């Protein structure tokens, strides 16, 4: 099949596998962006894919709709937190990679440190919102992201350029701890970051006290106040 047919087939397979959004990204376009500082527990700049994996030219970027509060759970395993909401996505992304390998291409789900939000924007899935999350036309910010790197000759999608936020600041106003300014999140105040462990936030105890009703010794629901405030997200809950 030609590149157009292959691209359509790869996208169709991803949707059949249970994913809700799929777009194609040229790795060179993502690598052309300036590095971004990633805070939280990572504390490093994003990297260029082709500095580490020069054999891959395309990425299949996918989104999985977060449709239930269970998918916002965090469970402590050992010394770290794990997120069941990503387990279903992980199984589906492996299916996309296996489909490419069955057709004779190389595919890899593990990537260097990259911005999945920027990758999704370049692949046409949505825009970077004032809540510092990817915001999509169909699902608002209720989406999990991942990608598969491949050497398959896929046709990239057009980057998403529409401003979905406009004058709306509902997410900024809704944050219970003032962690948001438009398009920026303070990882040292965000309640999601606070739960990552000591030393990742200022005033840990004071901030956690606001979230106490949702905490158990081994699990909690991540704060979703900014997501729930988004008008685009509300209509799909």
pLDDT digit string (tens) for 10-50?
A: 999 999 999 999 999 999 999 999 998 887 777 889 999 99
**pLDDT at residue 85, as a whole number:** 77
Q: Could you tell me the two tokens for 56?
A: 């891959």
Both 15 and 98 in a single domain?
A: yes
**pLDDT at residue 223, as a whole number:** 84
What's phi and psi for 44, nearest 5 deg?
A: -160, 165
Both 136 and 58 in a single domain?
A: yes
**pLDDT at residue 206, as a whole number:** 60
Both 174 and 144 in a single domain?
A: no
Both 128 and 176 in a single domain?
A: no
The pLDDT of residue 55 is above 70 = yes
Determine the 3-state secondary structure of 15 from DSSP: helix
Q: Is residue 112 part of a domain?
A: yes
DSSP 71: G
Q: Distance between CA atoms of 74 and 195, rounded to whole angstroms?
A: 9
For tokens 């909401």, the residue is 85
For tokens 């300014």, the residue is 181
Both 146 and 174 in a single domain?
A: no
What pTM does this model have? Answer: 0.88
Q: Is residue 157 part of a domain?
A: no
- Interstrand relation of 180-181 and 184-185 (parallel, antiparallel or unpaired): antiparallel
Q: Is residue 61 part of a domain?
A: yes
The pLDDT-based confidence of 78 (bands split at 50, 70, 90) is confident
Total domains, the chain: 2
The pLDDT of residue 64 is above 90 = yes
**pLDDT at residue 154, as a whole number:** 98
Both 104 and 184 in a single domain?
A: no
Both 36 and 138 in a single domain?
A: yes
Other beta carbons within 10 Å of 22: 22
pLDDT digits (tens, 9 = 90+) for 147-178: 999 999 999 999 999 999 999 999 999 998 88
Q: Is residue 159 part of a domain?
A: no
Which residue, of 122, 150, 178, is where some domain finishes? 150
Both 185 and 141 in a single domain?
A: no
Q: Distance between CA atoms of 220 and 216, rounded to whole angstroms?
A: 6
Both 124 and 224 in a single domain?
A: no
Both 49 and 141 in a single domain?
A: yes
Name residue 216's beta-bridge partners.
219
User: In which element (H, E) is residue 173 found?
Assistant: helix 170-174
Q: Distance between CA atoms of 182 and 91, rounded to whole angstroms?
A: 33
**pLDDT at residue 109, as a whole number:** 92
| CB of 19 closer than 8 Å to CB of 64 | yes
Q: Region 57-66: what's the mean pLDDT?
A: 95
pLDDT digits (tens, 9 = 90+) for 187-219: 878 888 776 655 444 445 666 666 554 556 677
Task: Tell whether the torsion through CA atoms of 193, 195, 198 and 204 is positive or negative.
Answer: positive
Size of the chain in residues: 237
Q: Distance between CA atoms of 104 and 74, rounded to whole angstroms?
A: 37
Q: Is residue 158 part of a domain?
A: no
Where residue 124 falls (left for φ over 0; alpha for ψ -120 to 50; beta otherwise) is: left
Least confident of 94-98, 112-116, 122-126, 213-217: 213-217
Which residue, of 120, 150, 180, is where some domain finishes? 150
**pLDDT at residue 234, as a whole number:** 63
Which residue, of 91, 115, 150, is where some domain finishes? 150
Q: Is residue 131 part of a domain?
A: yes
Least confident of 77-86, 103-112, 135-144: 77-86
Average pLDDT over the chain reads 87
Both 186 and 144 in a single domain?
A: no
**96: Cα within 13 Å, side-chain hemisphere:** 35
Task: Please report, rounded to a whole number, the percentage of residues in the chain having pLDDT higher than 90.
Answer: 62
**pLDDT at residue 213, as a whole number:** 46
The pLDDT-based confidence of 71 (bands split at 50, 70, 90) is confident
Q: Is residue 56 part of a domain?
A: yes
Both 122 and 224 in a single domain?
A: no
What's phi and psi for 90, nearest 5 deg?
A: -60, -40
**pLDDT at residue 221, as a whole number:** 78
Q: 82 is in which domain, residue-wise? A: 3-150
Q: Is residue 20 part of a domain?
A: yes
């Amino acid at each position: 099949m030609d590149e157009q047919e292959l691209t359509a087939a790869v996208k169709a397979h991803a949707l059949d596998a249970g994913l809700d959004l799929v777009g194609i990204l040229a790795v060179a376009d993502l690598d052309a962006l300036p590095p971004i500082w990633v805070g939280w527990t990572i504390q490093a700049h994003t990297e260029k894919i082709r500095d580490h994996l020069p054999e891959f030219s395309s990425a299949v970027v996918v989104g999985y709709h977060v449709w239930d509060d269970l998918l916002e759970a965090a469970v402590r395993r050992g010394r770290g937190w794990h997120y069941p909401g990503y387990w279903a996505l992980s199984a589906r992304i492996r299916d996309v990679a296996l489909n490419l390998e069955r057709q004779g291409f190389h595919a890899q789900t593990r990537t260097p440190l990259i911005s999945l939000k920027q990758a999704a924007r370049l692949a046409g899935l949505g825009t970077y919102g004032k809540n510092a999350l990817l915001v999509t036309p169909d699902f608002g910010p209720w989406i999990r992201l991942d990608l598969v790197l491949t050497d398959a000759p896929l046709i990239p999608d057009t980057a998403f350029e529409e401003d979905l936020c406009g004058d709306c600041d509902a997410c900024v106003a809704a944050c219970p701890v003032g962690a948001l300014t438009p398009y920026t999140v303070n990882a040292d105040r965000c309640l999601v970051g606070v739960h990552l462990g000591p030393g990742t936030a200022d005033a840990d105890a004071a901030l956690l006290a606001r979230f106490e009703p949702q905490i158990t010794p081994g699990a909690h629901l991540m704060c979703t106040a900014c997501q729930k405030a988004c008008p685009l997200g509300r209509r799909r809950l």
